[in-house]
Amino acid sequence: MNKVVFILYAVFIAFVSLRPMNSATLEPWDKVFHLILYGVFSLLGYRASKEPKQFLYICIGIVIYSGLMEVGQSFMPGRVMSVYDLLANTIGVVLGAAIAKKVFSANNI
C-alpha cells in the first residue's frame, strides 16, 4: 500500500507541476510549497522503501524527478523552469529524509 501511495503522489506532483498556469505568481510562498511537497514526497519514499540503501536511491530519484518536472515546466504556458525551485525541492527531500530517519523507527524499513 505504501508503494501505491508513493506512486499516486508522484502522479499528483506531475499534475501540479506540469499544468499550464496563468501569469499569477505565488511568490514568496512558492518555495515553501516546493519544500513541503517534496518533503512529503521523501517521507512517502521512506515508507515505501524496504532498506536504508533503497531509501537513499529513492531520494536521489525524487531529486532527479524534480529536475525533470522543472524542465517540463519550461514547455508549459505560463510556467518557467527555476533553479531556485529545484533547490527548494532538494532541500525538501533532505529535510523529509532527516525527519523520516528521526521519527520513524529503523524497524519499519
pLDDT digits (tens, 9 = 90+) for 61-101: 999 999 999 999 999 988 889 999 999 999 999 999 999 99
pLDDT score of 57 = 97
- Split at pLDDT 50, 70, 90, the class of 104 is confident
> How confident is residue 106, by pLDDT bands cut at 50, 70 and 90?
low
Contact at 8 Å (CB) between 45 and 101?
no
Q: How far apart are CA 62 and CA 74, in angstroms?
A: 19
Q: Give the whole-angstrom CA distance, residue 32 versus residue 63.
A: 16
Residues 46, 98 contacting (CB under 8 angstroms)? no
Residue extents of the structural domains in the chain: 2-17+27-108
Which one, of 33, 39, 31, 41, lies nearest residue 98 by Cα? 39
Closest residue by Cα to residue 88 from 23, 30, 42: 30
